[in-house]
Amino acid sequence: MELNKQKKELGEVVQNEQNQADRVEITFYTDPLCCWSWGLEPQWRRLQYELQDKIVFRYVMTGLLASWKNFSDPLYSVTRPQQMGPVWMEAGNVSGMPVHHRLWVEDPPASSYPACIAVKTVQLQSAAAGIRYLRMLREAVMIEGLNIAKQSVLTEVAEILAKVHKGAIDVGLFARDLINDNGLEAFRSDWQETQNRNISRTPTLIMRSQNKPGIILTGYRPYDALFDAVEQIAPGIRTYIKPVTPEAYKQFWGNLTERELAEIG
């Protein structure tokens, strides 16, 4: 009996190691104000759903916009808020996602740092809540046109998160960590990682698996490009694709834009 038990335990260890070897680790460098990261949501959500047992990921906040004082984006010739509107309009047209580009004329965010700090502040309490909060911030700014550089907006979104997902976070603790440097220190860690990796644009995804060279994808990509990258470092992963139906997809995500639903159509 003891020998059989040892064989079973050894088999479980080997199986777990094999499962780990098959899994793909994705580091997603982004910013709540990144319109192209928002544009990538349909493809990214589909990848998460279809390979939900085979990928693990984490978000790193890059700090896209410290302030407008010395900001310059030579790729799009942007140096002031009003010039960001056409970039967002392009992102919406290319991706098909709703984008409130008039925000940059009506109530332009002064910085993306407050939103990055807020995401990290939520993550201090719960990684899962941090993922939900980032999505809710994106919806607030991209769909509703809210200025997520304002502390009042950041707090309101946190309150909605706590209400919709009861017990997800302690809003009082969130409010304290948002101003007592705990959230700031967490963001500094992400920012330093971004600098060390020389990440200059978002979205940037670094994909890895055991004993395979990593793959870096930068910018807006179609779904096939994301999946092909995963398959390169995890051959055979296609056999693990979870079938998608509109009903199951809606239930899994809870909220979807028309474009996100069309991605699986």
133-183 per-position pLDDT tens digit: 999 999 999 999 999 999 999 999 999 999 999 999 999 999 999 999 999
List, for residues 186-232, the tens digit of each pLDDT value.
Answer: 999 999 999 999 999 999 999 999 878 899 999 999 999 999 999 99
Q: Are strands 24-30 and 55-61 parallel, antiparallel or unpaired?
A: parallel
Bridge partners of 217? 205
How far, in Å, are 57, 107, 196, 261, 264 from residue 258 at the CA level? 25, 26, 37, 5, 11
Domains of the chain: 28-263 (3.40.30.10)
Q: How many helices (H) and strands (E) does the chain have?
A: 13, 4
Rounded to whole angstroms, the Cα distance separating 141 from 162 reads 19
Rounded to whole angstroms, the Cα distance separating 136 from 147 reads 13
Is residue 113 within 8 Å of 186, Cβ to Cβ?
Answer: no
pTM, 2 dp? 0.91
Q: Provide the CA 162 distance to its chain's centre, in angstroms.
A: 19
